[in-house]
Amino acid sequence: MIRFNAVIALATSYLCLFSFAANGQDRFANVTIETIPVVGNISMLVGQGGNIGVSAGSDGILIIDDQFAPLAGRIKAAIMELGSDTPKFLLNTHFHGDHTGGNADFGADSVIVAHENVRLRMVAGDQPAVALPVVTYDDDVSIHFNGESITLIHMPRGHTDTDSVVYFEDSNVIHMGDHFFNGGFPFVDLVNGGTVQGYLNNLEKVLSWIGDDTSVIPGHGSLASKSDLMNFYNVVRDTSVEIRIKKSQRMSVEDIVGEGLSPGYESWGQGFIDEEAWIQTVFNSYPR
């Protein structure tokens, strides 16, 4: 139970840190929103929290995720530069507060689209009605906007049980949500329906769909390519196998943490999920 509680504590601290901003708005005081061109009419906005995808064109603005509520004004200023401060559509890759925090600010004027479990978990979290997705789906849905098909595809039981990736068919861009932490171990939210095996299965599907020239927007980290996503997948898979082998040899999680992963993964534990947290996640995600 100690191990199980550790994971709950980890998940809780994550949600507090990113959803509820325990220290108020001060931590956002110095955040600026940087606009990074991706390809054609697609951009990525980087501030604090999950990376935002933007389609800007003759139909207007569509955004993917909206970081934290205190940043909504700065996000609106950034998309105003791309054509309008009022998106017609807001897509959520999943329900975490560092990706949906601005929903209450955008929801009055934008149609919010997300997997049905995003809505269910936001309702369970007492989010106001204005912040909730109004269009939901179970497997996938396409939005025909700015001259191309923009498709949300559900990624079952991976990062959470609410996730989708968003594929821009003509632009050949994919927004991965938190199925991609570029350069770091991922957070897999076991308390909210995530599993490491589902996460790997989902990454395999995406890697089979996209090409070498696909632009890949990660949930966290810098703009990437298929080979970056492949590197990430290899690290998640290889470290998971290492941890599972030790678990099958009846090693305790404490002993596996004490022994550490093979050399070469040090840089991957420098982000939000350090090596110990990753080992605990994998250990707890697989049955004995």
Binding site for Zn ion (CB under 5 A): 96, 178
Our CB check for Zn ion shows the closer of 161 and 178 to be 178
Find how far residue 77's CA is from the centre of its chain. Answer: 23
Our CB check for Zn ion shows the closer of 192 and 284 to be 192
Q: Report, in Å, the least distance between residue 206 CB and Zn ion.
A: 16
Residue 107 half-sphere exposure toward CB, CA atoms < 13 A: 19
Report which residue type is found at 264.
G
Our CB check for Zn ion shows the closer of 15 and 130 to be 15
Q: Contact, 21 vs 10, CB < 8 A?
A: no
Our CB check for Zn ion shows the closer of 66 and 178 to be 178
Q: Output the DSSP codes for 174-199.
A: EE-GGG-BTTSPPP--GGGT--HHHH
Q: Report, in Å, the least distance between residue 219 CB and Zn ion.
A: 6
Phi, psi of 181 (to 5 degrees): -105, 100
Q: Report, in Å, the least distance between residue 159 CB and Zn ion.
A: 6
Q: Contact, 107 vs 86, CB < 8 A?
A: no
Q: Report, in Å, the least distance between residue 3 CB and Zn ion.
A: 22
Our CB check for Zn ion shows the closer of 115 and 246 to be 115
Q: Report, in Å, the least distance between residue 178 CB and Zn ion.
A: 4
Distance CA 241, CA 238 (A): 5
Rg over CA atoms, the chain:
18
Our CB check for Zn ion shows the closer of 96 and 115 to be 96
* Token pair of 185 as six digits: 């171990």
Tally of helices (H runs) and strands (E runs) in the chain: 9, 12
Q: Report, in Å, the least distance between residue 49 CB and Zn ion.
A: 9
